[in-house]
Each structure stands twice: as C-alpha cells, then as structure tokens.
C-alpha cells in the first residue's frame, strides 16, 4: 500500500485500512507539540507518518519511558480501552500524522477484528519497549543508554537527529554534563558527530556495539508480530 508511511496501517488489508482512512485526517505536528497531557482525556490518536514523539513520566523528576515514530501511534492507552494516562506525550521532532478521534478508533477496535488484533499487538510491543527502557536505566551505563536511544531515534528519523544536550538529559534522566561526556566518547569513537542541536549518526555498527543488548528486543518483537505482515496483503 502506498497511501501511508505508517508501519501499522500498511499491514492492514485494504478493506480494513479503508475504514481507518475514512475517519483519519492528515495533520502537521510541530516540535514540542503536546499529543496528550498527564491525567487528561486522550481525545485523539496519531498514526505517525514522520517525526518522533516521546512519552514521559512527570513526577519530582522526569524521564522518558518510550518513543514512537512512523512505526506506530500515540495514545496506546486508548487501544486498551483506557481514556487517560499519568504520562504525557509530545513531539521531540516535528512531522506529520494521520489523526483519528479516540471515540472513532475505539468503535473500529470494537467492531473490526483485524484492526483490534493489530493494535493490541502494537500495544504489547510498546510495553516491551517500556520494559527495555527500565532495564537500560537500571542496568546500563550512560554511554550505553545514550547509544541505545540514538539508535532508536535513527530508526525513526534517519541519520540527522535534531537533539540538544539539555533535551537528552531529560530523556535519560541524568545531568547535562553526563550527557556531554557520553556524547564526546561516542564522537571520539567516530560513531556520531555532535553539533549544536544536531547529532549525526556516522557509524551505526559502532553505536550497536556500544549499546549491546540494551537495544534490539522491542525492535525484534515488532518485526515478529507486525512488520512481517506487510507483504502478506
């Protein structure tokens, strides 16, 4: 299918995809734009065509728990029949998305088996990503965690990542100097080039070596459960 760049919607049979397409609106999302607020109703779900969103836990301190790009959609609680979340979601990097009202998507989930099964599989994959993030935060050093996060961003944005040191410190839950030191080490290994508000991936293999097995489990699960279905229709 060529009507969408979204990795979920591309796997749907045409008749089921048409149901989503009939209720969706293509929108542009700006950097830092909020997709849903903590503990407030999630009114829309966004199936991303491009860009990068971040889901963050806000407490006394904040940390990212997941990121989503063209492989998925925002508003995972809606897929599970939940209308709000303690988390907040916003755009790390602007892009476009197919926006569908949560009520409309809930109706499609309730009445269409193919859509329901696909989105529940994706909800599972996103939970695996959150678990992998918890493992990385608890068991891996900052350089490994940064390498993992840059690989995840590259998967969704390509080689040029519009990310600042301050932003990375929030995402990783560490002080800014720790991010700067880790970036310098990765740059010294020629894995990346770091400039003001821009990180360029130069050697993906070097990043993968540094990240080790902190990276790859959710990605493999996505391939196993979702992306392999695309060629079946």
- Give 124-136 pLDDT, tens digit per residue: 999 999 999 999 9
Residues 224 and 208 in one domain: no
Residues 103 and 157 in one domain: no
Do 31 and 91 touch, CB atoms closer than 8 A?
yes
Residue 118 lies in a domain: yes
Residues 93 and 169 in one domain: no
With tokens 């290994």, the residue in question is 189
What is the separation, in whole angstroms, between the first and last Cα of the chain? 9
Residues 147 and 78 in one domain: no
Residues 23 and 116 in one domain: yes
Q: What is the pTM of this model?
A: 0.95
Q: What is the pLDDT of residues 20-51, one digit of tens each?
A: 999 999 999 999 999 999 999 999 999 999 99
Residues 18 and 56 in one domain: yes
Residue 62 lies in a domain: yes
Residue 162 lies in a domain: yes
Residue 1 lies in a domain: no
Residues 123 and 167 in one domain: no
Q: What's the average model confidence in pLDDT over 77-97?
A: 96
Residues 130 and 22 in one domain: yes
Question: Tokens in use for 148?
Answer: 């993992």
Q: How many domains does the chain have?
A: 2
Query: Does the structure show a pLDDT above 80 at 60?
Result: no
Can you give the pLDDT at residue 233? Answer: 52
Residue 4 lies in a domain: no
- Mean per-residue pLDDT over the chain, rounded: 94
Residues 96 and 155 in one domain: no
Residue 3 lies in a domain: no
CATH code (residue 203): 1.10.10.10
Helices (H), the chain: 14-23, 76-79, 102-111, 113-139, 142-157, 165-172, 176-188, 204-211, 217-225
CATH code (residue 222): 2.60.120.10
Confidence of residue 1 (pLDDT cuts 50, 70, 90): very low
226: DSSP letter: T
Residues 210 and 221 in one domain: no
With tokens 């840059």, the residue in question is 150
Residues 75 and 188 in one domain: no
Nearest-angstrom CA–CA distance, 46 and 199:
26
Domain around 126: 9-136+217-232
Residue 97 lies in a domain: yes
Residues 95 and 159 in one domain: no
- Residue 48 phi/psi, 5-degree rounding, is -75, 135
């Amino acid at each position: 299918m060529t009507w969408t760049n979204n990795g979920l919607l591309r796997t749907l049979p045409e008749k089921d995809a048409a149901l989503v397409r009939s209720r969706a609106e293509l929108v542009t999302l700006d950097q830092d734009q909020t997709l849903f607020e903590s503990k407030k109703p999630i009114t829309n779900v966004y199936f991303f065509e491009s860009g990068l969103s971040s889901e963050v836990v806000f407490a006394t301190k904040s940390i990212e728990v997941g990121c989503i790009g063209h492989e998925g959609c925002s508003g995972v609680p809606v897929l599970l029949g939940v209308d709000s979340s303690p988390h907040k979601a916003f755009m790390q990097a602007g892009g476009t998305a197919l926006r569908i009202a949560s009520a409309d998507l809930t109706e499609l989930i309730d009445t269409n088996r193919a859509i329901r099964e696909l989105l529940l599989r994706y909800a599972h994959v996103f939970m695996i990503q959150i678990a992998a993030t918890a493992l990385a935060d608890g068991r891996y050093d900052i350089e490994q965690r940064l390498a993992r996060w840059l690989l995840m961003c590259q998967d969704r944005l390509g080689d040029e990542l519009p990310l600042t040191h301050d932003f990375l410190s929030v995402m990783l839950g560490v002080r800014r100097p720790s991010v700067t030191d880790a970036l310098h080490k990765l740059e010294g290994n020629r894995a990346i080039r770091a400039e003001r508000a821009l990180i360029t991936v130069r050697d993906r293999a070097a990043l993968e070596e540094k990240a080790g097995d902190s990276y790859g489990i959710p990605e493999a699960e996505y391939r196993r459960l979702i992306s392999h279905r695309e060629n079946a229709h």
